[in-house]
Chains A and B, each alone.
Chain A
């Protein structure tokens, strides 16, 4: 809404106010007097100032470069300005030398400053100057503006008042302090504060993790922590900053007798493990908790609930390596988290969303279906029998199904009397709510102004097609003569529908059985679109009931594939029971299991006996299993077979049962509902009735070993979410005074001009920072600038 921004705003507030003093020919580099510059510094905003005496020819190239850098720097929220040092100016930033070039990075609130150096000599000078005073954070980055550079600058923003930050991009300097890995950024911590003897070198600790803001923060925190702590508590209870930072604790167990030596050892260990683990000295004598007699080291991981390890270690190196190997593992995990988590959280792992997204640019022939609106909906569904797809344009599942729906429209083009329509509920929200649609997608059939029927089948072309075709006839259809009934049962009457419903159901009633007829009609209505039902209740119904040996009221089930007609008595069955009877009747005794029909068979809650077959099933096997079914040996199982040609995903199933694809055909029993064991019929035995029976007996007796157990774990979140609560907490604790940029009122600036300047210069007691911008365009100006840079290093 209000967030689009234009270049003009990039320059930020400081620039706007500075404009008054703007006079240079340089395009976007603002130029102002020192007082003005200081008066416009914004708390929390970094700005880069360039101080110069006058526009001398020597500095012009620098200016050009700086000018080019203005935009990239502003991307980092750093404003850039040039400050004119007039002659009488006494600001210490304006040097006396004519060719002086300095660039300062100010963070007006903290005035922490980062020194940029190029030689080992510079580093030693700084080191010497700070011995006994402050510690140094020395960073090498490959170039200015890299993410590592930014991380260092951010750390300097936070810690710059406590530590001297020193920065270099010189590979030679890095090599001269013994680090050959010039490809990566490095951060050293120089422990100079406790060095009192100026001839000694400061100790150095190299940060081993990659330079990210978080890692630097963590590293510096561990540097701040006391090197060695003495404790007399239970190691399990001790808590230090290390644990909070996810680092382990190492307790060196000490006794009164060996205290001094132990302490020296512990200190030595502590130096070696600095930044990797917290080291504590555990005084065994004053400890109330028992620790094993021989243990001399206690190792405690940062993870909560992991018990402390009691170790017996002979030398320090094995201790260090034990810790490092453990820490190492953790670090790698953390690194992986850092590296893979953040990008991966944004990677779509929802297959439906991803496939729909990838397909978004393919135009669909949507014109084959009629788009309905609030205005056209009612007239359309009243005027013609319609199928309505309610979907939401933003929802992936809806859009995936819309494709199937369009495929259906292509199939039915010009052949169906049913109008295929759709309503995008993202547009017509009220209409969908009025039609009781609150989830997507939903398909409803509106016919002859009757109550709409919701489609409850699989969201796919074939199943919906079947539903539409079977819905063409009324349900149940009224049969008026015995002859018609016979045609109905033989499949002649609705020849074209037989392929969609393998079973035709006919209810037989005496004309006076009104309640039974009502119940049956209700059941028929319910099953509309899924099965063909008919009703016959003429006076001569006895002809049919006699022929099929049925007692009225009764159901006749005609299985067209098998050419069989069976009868089921219906006495005292309510609509629900009738539905149940018919649905059960639809189940086959030895079905080919497919993606579409598995859920129906899973409802039986029995273990599955699955014959995997690459192609059609061998009639021998089929016969064997049907025999077993007939002899009621398989009552406790759901026998079925799976054709890998029709259902290739079966290969994936086999692969999870066996490590390698087993030879086919193959028989397995999968105990899905209790225990999850999978048993395989021995592949060296032929699948015969006897062998199978024997195997099933052994199975039942528990004499067979399962080949695998299906995993029972719950479905957990695939990836973590952003922890905004922690981020908010961290922000609240790190920058308690930080506020959004506020615009200082014009008049205030003028009035307080002088005062502010004084205040500011009071704060800038010791501006030691010099960040030199160097590598903007190395090839162009490096030679030119080199000498002068060397020159003023002395100042550092």
Chain B
């Protein structure tokens, strides 16, 4: 991460030196002896950089990771200041399924080595940041990832070249002036430049990055904290018990992550101050735009809050400056503060990238994040991808793409994209007969972690083969790139497709919403579309949507309007395997999309159909006719006869009272109604 932090330490002369040396050292000799070339260069050996390195290494690609620090994960060596990570390390779920367990492991990176799971590194539910540093170090070492430590990339430029994969090379210059030429640049430097707000008196403000973490330093003080994120509350939490009071100030109202389902909002683990504020302690929260404020130091060395325009009005000494309370004697911040601490988060370091890379643009949002497409490729330079926390603009405040448990999957998606683009390895897929369609979906929605973490960003895709007799299953495709699916994956989508996504209810959550309202859960399958909690949603398209359709989709829709849509009703246990509550409605949906019968049958039924019909249902065609019919046992047969779905043929043809003949096959009499086990009803 923090590659170019060196620039700050050196100060301007260092940078100037680099510029001066650049033409001298690189360009001229560079023409004669080309700088060392690599197909893939990864900037930063943090979680995202190491994750990408892992995939590149497994694929046998030519790559290197550049890291300015001597060990991986240097961000975590310093942050969070109070050392407690807020990503959960759930070591027990009651399940053995490793993929499922990753849904509740927010710290591990993906690898084939089960020893490299975070639960082997910490027993704490909210682990210590030091464990993360140790974990990342082990990850790089055990997997022998090629990381060039102590290498600070100070400058990145483009070198146009028709031979290059992307029409240009990326030239990286390190602190020694050494240049590196890369075909593809993967930027995983994270967000590490502290956000600062410019207002008069901001020089009196201490930053989160350097403020003392020793509560004794705050004994009996009045503290004002600027910011309302997790770092602000973490800081407050640490000193809550020793200060006179803490006031917290920010522009927006506090967003609680349990109300927004966004892990980046204020986590309950940090919100002790909210509790005491609402319980009439002296601590409190205030809302105001920081840019309107000013901090002045009075003669006692205490800090007074005033408004910027008061300062502009008069040019007097600090003690004579107008304070808001002069006019408005109950102004909330009329007390003097001993300390003002800024905890305003971080932003991306744009400074090392040459303008020609067009990583940034104007606009408030893009000051924090570089501009990327939904495929994580830079909008400005082909072949430059942004990974990890810095790529969070794609799903900011929506999904988990800015966090390890989310970007470990988006990194994999980028890697799959690159494998196809540059090495003609199509997006991995498995092919199955159509009789396996329901199973494939049920399996994935019940265990897949990528879908679960990166809900509404990564989705599974099912591509139907001609006549819908078979299908290909593609995992975790960036769904906003759906229109470009064929070029990105190298797979054909000529005969229709399903998209399997996970979604929260439309209007369920958001800041200030009561997510505990009565009737918040839906139990009936016919109300599944009103499900509020995260649940699988399946879109069916006859044709691949176009780019236009994706871009101009209806508001609140994750994808363009499909031909048909199915919601699997939300489940308290996130276990969508109930035969009647979950699987049956899903099968009916798939059947109606494909206009076929996807039921499974015993061999005896297939035998009957084979001799009484010219055509067979897919299950019999793809199983029984290939000598893989399901024979069943006597006890199952008896149940079948009781249910009316099977007939007792031993008695057929004996004189029958009703004398009528049942239609054979296509519509077995429904028989006794089945009592569905509708656990959800009880739940309400």
* Inter-subunit contact A742/B633 (CB<8 Å): no
Give the interface residue-count category, chain A: 35 or more
Whole-angstrom CA separation of A397 from B608 in the bound complex:
19
Q: How far, in Å, is B589 (CB) from chain A's closest CB?
A: 4
Q: Are B640 and A599 in contact (CB under 8 A)?
A: no
Whether A656 and B612, one on each chain, are in contact in the complex, defined by CB atoms closer than 8 angstroms, is yes
Contact partner of B589 (CB less than 8 A), chosen from A396, A722, A742, is: A722
Q: B432 contacts the other chain (Cβ, under 8 Å)? A: yes
B642, CB-defined interface residue at 8 Å? yes
**B645-666 interface (Cβ within 8 A of A):** 645-647, 649-650, 652-653, 661, 664-666
The reply to whether A404 and B631 form a contact with Cβ atoms under 8 Å apart is: yes
Please report the C-alpha to C-alpha distance between residue A195 and residue B652 in the assembled complex, in whole angstroms.
67
Interchain CB contact (< 8 A) of B635 among A357, A362, A429, A598: A362
Kindly name the residue among B574, B597, B601, B667 whose own CB sees the greatest number of chain A CB atoms within 10 A.
B597
Q: Which of B516, B623, B667 contacts A2 (CB 8 A)?
A: B516
Which one of B132-140, B296-304, B438-446 is at the A interface? B438-446
A595–B601 Cα distance when bound, in Å, is 13
Indicate if A358 sits at the interface (CB-CB under 8 A).
yes
Q: Which of B169-177, B196-204, B562-570 contacts A (4 or more CB under 8 A)?
A: B562-570
Contact of B584 with A by CB under 8 A:
yes
A59-74 vs B, CB cutoff 8 Å, 1 = contact: the mask equals 0000000000000001
Does B151 belong to the interface (CB within 8 Å)? no
Contact in complex: A716, B601 (CB < 8 Å): no
Q: Given A347-B673, A358-B643, is A650 in contact with B97 using a C-beta cutoff of 8 Å?
A: no
Chain A residues contacting B515 (CB-CB under 8 Å) are: 2
CA of A3 to CA of B567, assembled, Å: 17
CA distance A654 to B612 in the complex (A): 9
B683 on the A face (CB < 8 A): yes
Whether B142 sits at the interface, judged by CB under 8 Å, is no
Q: Which listed residue, A351, A358, A458, A463, touches B605 by the CB 8 Å rule?
A: A351
Q: A614-662: which have CB < 8 Å to B?
A: 647-657, 659, 661
A11 to B645, CA, bound (A): 45
0 or 1 for each of B501-530: is its CB under 8 Å from A? (1 = yes): 000000110001111111111000110110
State the Cβ distance, B387 to closest chain A Cβ, in Å. 25
Q: Which single member of B443, B447, B592 contacts A717 (CB below 8 Å)?
A: B592
Interface residues of B in 216-236 (CB under 8 A from A): none
Contact flag A714-B615 (CB < 8 Å), given A348-B579, A595-B607 = yes
Residues of A with C-beta under 8 A to B27: none
Q: How far is the CA of A438 from the CA of B443 in the complex (A)?
A: 10
Contact B633 A439 (CB under 8 A): no
Chain B binder among A210-218, A243-251, A305-313, A705-713: A705-713
Residues of B within 8 A of A670 (CB): 611
Give the chain B neighbours of A715 by CB distance below 8 A.
Answer: 596-597, 615-618, 666
Q: Which residues of A contact B443 (CB under 8 A)?
A: 392, 429
**A653 contacts which chain B residues (CB < 8 A)?**
608, 611-612
Residues of chain A contacted by B96 (CB below 8 angstroms): 373-374, 427-428
Contact B629–A595 (Cβ < 8 Å): yes
CB contacts between A and B, total, < 8 Å: 336
Within B614-629, which residues are at the interface with A (CB < 8 Å)?
614-618, 623-629
- Is A728 close to B, CB under 8 A? yes
Q: Assess A461 versus B631: contact at CB under 8 Å? Given A355-B645, A653-B612, A716-B596.
A: yes
Interface segment among A337-345, A507-515, A773-781: the answer is A337-345
| Cross-chain contact B599 with A718 (CB below 8 angstroms) | yes
Minimum Cβ distance to chain A for residue B672 (Å): 9
How far, in angstroms, from A676 to B609 measured CA to CA in the complex?
12
Whether the pair B533, A428 counts as a contact (CB closer than 8 A) is: no
State in angstroms the CA–CA spacing of A258 and B515 once bound together: 67
How many Å lie between the Cα of A670 and that of B616 in the bound state?
16
Q: A354-B639, A460-B603, A717-B592 are in contact. Are A661 and B533 (CB under 8 A)?
A: no
CA distance A608 to B616 in the complex (A): 17
Residue of chain B at shortest CB distance from A16: B514
Q: Which of B442, B512, B584 contacts A742 (CB 8 A)?
A: B512
A741 at the interface (CB under 8 A from B): yes
Contacts of B605 in A (CB 8 A): 351
Chain A residues within 8 Å of B607, by CB: 595, 598, 647, 649
> In the complex, what's the smallest C-beta–C-beta distance from A233 to chain B, in angstroms?
31
- Is A462 in the interface zone, CB < 8 Å from B? yes
Q: Counting CB contacts under 8 A, is B121 at the interface?
A: no
Q: B591: CB under 8 A from chain A? A: yes
With A352-B601, A653-B612 known as contacts, the answer to whether A357 contacts B572 (CB < 8 A) is no
- Given contacts A351-B640, A711-B613, are A9 and B516 in contact (CB under 8 A)? yes
Bound form: Cα–Cα A718–B592 in Å: 9
* B583 close to A353 (CB less than 8 A): yes
Task: Give the distance in Å from the alpha carbon of A223 to the alpha carbon of B99 in the complex.
Answer: 57
B517 and A342 contact, CB distance less than 8 A: no
Q: How many chain B residues touch the partner (CB < 8 A)?
A: 112
Quick check: is B33 within 8 A (CB to CB) of the other chain? no
Contacts of B632 in A (CB 8 A): 352, 355, 400, 403-404, 460
B357 at the interface (CB under 8 A from A): no
* Alpha-carbon gap, A656 to B623, bound state (A): 23
A143 CB to nearest B CB, Å: 23
Q: Which chain B residues lie closer than 8 Å to A463 at the CB level?
A: 631
The answer to whether A724 and B566 touch across the interface, beta carbons within 8 angstroms, is yes
CB distance from A430 to the nearest CB of B (A): 5
Any B CB within 8 A of the CB of A334:
no
Which residue of chain A is the closest to B537 with respect to CB atoms?
A724
Return the contact of B603 from the options A10, A373, A595, A676 (Cβ within 8 A): A595
Hey, what's the 0/1 contact readout for B161-187 against A, CB within 8 Å counting as 1? Answer: 000000000000000000000000000
Evaluate whether A403 and B525 lie within 8 angstroms (CB atoms) in the complex, with A596-B603, A599-B627, A718-B599 already known. Answer: no
Is residue B588 contacting chain A, with contact meaning CB distance below 8 A? yes
Given contacts A5-B521, A653-B608, contact A458 B529 (CB under 8 A): no
- Choice from B566, B584, B608 contacting A649 with Cβ under 8 Å: B608
Is B272 on the interface with A (CB-CB < 8 A)? no
Distance in angstroms from A77 CB to nearest chain B CB is: 7
- The closest CB in chain A to the CB of B532 belongs to A3
The answer for the CA separation of A429 and B96 in the assembled complex, in Å, is 9
Asked if B610 is an interface residue, CB under 8 A from chain A, the answer is: yes
Within the complex, what minimum Cβ distance (angstroms) separates B653 from chain A? 4
Question: Across the interface, do B603 and A348 meet the contact criterion of CB distance under 8 Å?
Answer: no
Contact pick for B652, options A10, A652, A659, A721, CB 8 Å: A652
Q: How far is the CB of B46 from chain A (nearest CB, A)?
A: 26
Complex Cα–Cα for A459 and B603 (A): 9
Asked if B270 is at the interface of the complex by the 8 Å CB criterion, the answer is no
Contacts of A356 in B (CB 8 A): 579, 636
**Cα separation A450 to B418 with both chains bound (whole Å):** 36
Pair B661/A716 contact, Cβ less than 8 Å: no
Residue on A nearest B649 in the bound complex, by CB: A648
Please tell me if B676 contacts chain A, counting CB pairs below 8 Å.
yes
The answer to whether B664 and A652 have CB atoms under 8 Å apart is yes
B533 touches A459 (CB 8 A): no
List which B365-409 residues lie within 8 A (CB) of chain A: none
Instruction: Tell me, yes or no, whether A743 is within 8 Å of chain B by CB.
Output: yes
Is there contact, CB below 8 Å, between A355 and B640? Answer: yes
> Given A345-B525, A720-B588, 4 other A-B contacts at CB below 8 A?
A1-B533, A1-B574, A652-B647, A722-B525
Which residues on B are within 8 Å of A, measured CB to CB? 95-100, 430, 432, 436, 439, 442-443, 446-447, 507-508, 512-521, 525-526, 528-529, 532-534, 561-562, 564-567, 570, 572, 574, 577, 579-580, 583-585, 587-589, 591-592, 595-605, 607-608, 610-618, 623-633, 635-637, 639-640, 642-643, 645-647, 649-650, 652-653, 661, 664-668, 670, 673-674, 676, 683-684
What are 25 pairs between A and B in contact, CB < 8 Å?
A: A5-B516, A11-B518, A345-B525, A346-B580, A346-B584, A351-B600, A352-B630, A353-B579, A354-B640, A357-B580, A359-B635, A394-B446, A403-B633, A426-B577, A596-B631, A653-B608, A661-B652, A672-B610, A710-B614, A721-B564, A722-B526, A723-B564, A724-B564, A740-B513, A742-B512
Going nearest first, the 6 A-B pairs with the smallest beta carbon separation are A460-B631, A3-B521, A394-B577, A661-B653, A717-B591, A715-B597
